[in-house]
Amino acid sequence: TQQSHAWVEIENLLSRENLFRSQYQRQFSLFDREKTRMAILQKRCQHGDISQEELLNASFSENESAANLARTHAELLINVVDLKTAVGD
The three state secondary structure string of the chain is CHHHHHHHHHHHHHHHHHHHHHHHHHHHHHHHHHHHHHHHHHHHHHCCCCCHHHHHHHHHHHHHHHHHHHHHHHHHHHHHHHHHHHHCC
How many structural domains is the chain composed of? 1
CATH code of the domain in which 39 resides = 1.10.287
| Host domain of residue 65 | 2-87
d(CA 11, CA 6): 9
Average pLDDT, the chain: 93
Higher-pLDDT residue of 52 and 2 is 52
pLDDT at 4: 81
| pLDDT tens profile 10-46 | 999 999 999 999 999 999 999 999 999 999 999 999 9
